[in-house]
């Protein structure tokens, strides 16, 4: 399946690095929520859901982690290990996050507020959803 990553603009010099992300320029959806995942214990796996409408960019701003994406027909795995790389995850995509390195921080820019109604947390329900909605 097609994976959409984006390299955000970064200023680097001898004093360090600074990555910047601007609404409407770098991210085409309106950013309504930011959250971050950290302190993930070794071997833990998170996610196991899809969203009906939510769009997100996932950025591992410290350390590394892997993301499994599944569109109901195909799966792909991406390693995020660069703080200026964003992975787009759109609606109708099952995701699992795993292999978090020690101290990893996964930052997420989301198009909407949190609502449990937007989640599909059962894999068979996800398969039915993408087939019925004609997403894939
Ligand atoms: C996603 C992946 C990448 C809130 O109350 N507000 C929030 O904004 C979020 C994101 C979560 N929560 C609550 C819901 C659960 O009781 O925090 C708890 C943990 O959430 P969840 O188990 O959904 O976390 P992950 O890491 O499995 O998934 C999260 C996002 O929920 C999800 O949208 O795409 O990160």
pLDDT in tens, 7-45: 999 999 999 999 999 999 999 999 999 999 999 999 999
> Which pLDDT does position 113 carry in this prediction?
98
**Does the C-beta of 37 come closer than 6 Å to ligand 1?**
yes
Per-residue pLDDT tens for 44-65?
A: 999 999 999 999 999 999 999 9
The pair of structure tokens assigned to 57 is 């960019």
Residue 133 has pLDDT above 90, yes or no: no
Identify the CA nearest to 106 among candidates 52, 45, 17.
45
Cβ atoms of 31 and 109 within 8 Å: the answer is yes
Q: Which of 39, 40, 49, 111 to mutate to test the pocket of ligand 1 (most atoms within 8 A of CB)?
A: 49
Angle at 9 between CA 31 and CA 101, to 5 degrees: 80
Joined tokens for residue 31: 């950013």
Q: 62: part of which helix (H) or strand (E)?
A: strand 56-62
Could you give the percent of the chain with pLDDT greater than 90? 95
Which atom of ligand 1 is found nearest the CA of 54? Answer: 33
The better pLDDT of the pair 94, 132 is held by 94
Q: Which of 48, 76, 58 is nearest to 6 (CA)?
A: 58
What's residue 136's pLDDT?
A: 57
So which residues are the catalytic ones?
A: 49
List, for residues 102-117, the tens digit of each pLDDT value.
Answer: 999 999 999 999 999 9
To test the ligand 1 pocket, which listed residue (35, 94, 126) has its Cβ within 8 A of the most ligand atoms?
35
CA-nearest residue for atom 12, ligand 1, is 114
The count of C-alpha atoms lying within 13 angstroms of the C-alpha of 103, restricted to the half-sphere facing its C-beta, is 2
| Confidence category of residue 135, pLDDT binned at 50, 70, 90 | low
What's the whole-number average pLDDT of the chain? 96
């Amino acid at each position: 399946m097609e994976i959409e990553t984006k390299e955000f603009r970064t200023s680097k010099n001898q004093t360090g690095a600074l990555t910047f992300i601007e609404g409407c320029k770098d991210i085409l959806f309106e950013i309504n929520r930011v959250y971050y995942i950290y302190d993930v214990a070794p071997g833990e796996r998170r996610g196991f859901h899809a969203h009906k409408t939510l769009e997100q960019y996932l950025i591992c701003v410290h350390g590394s982690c892997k993301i499994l994406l599944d569109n109901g027909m195909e799966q792909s795995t991406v390693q995020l290990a660069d703080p200026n790389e964003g992975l787009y995850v759109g609606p109708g995509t099952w995701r699992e996050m795993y292999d978090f390195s020690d101290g990893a921080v996964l930052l997420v820019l989301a198009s909407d507020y949190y609502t449990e109604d937007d989640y599909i947390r059962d894999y068979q329900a996800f398969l039915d959803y993408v087939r019925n909605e004609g997403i894939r």
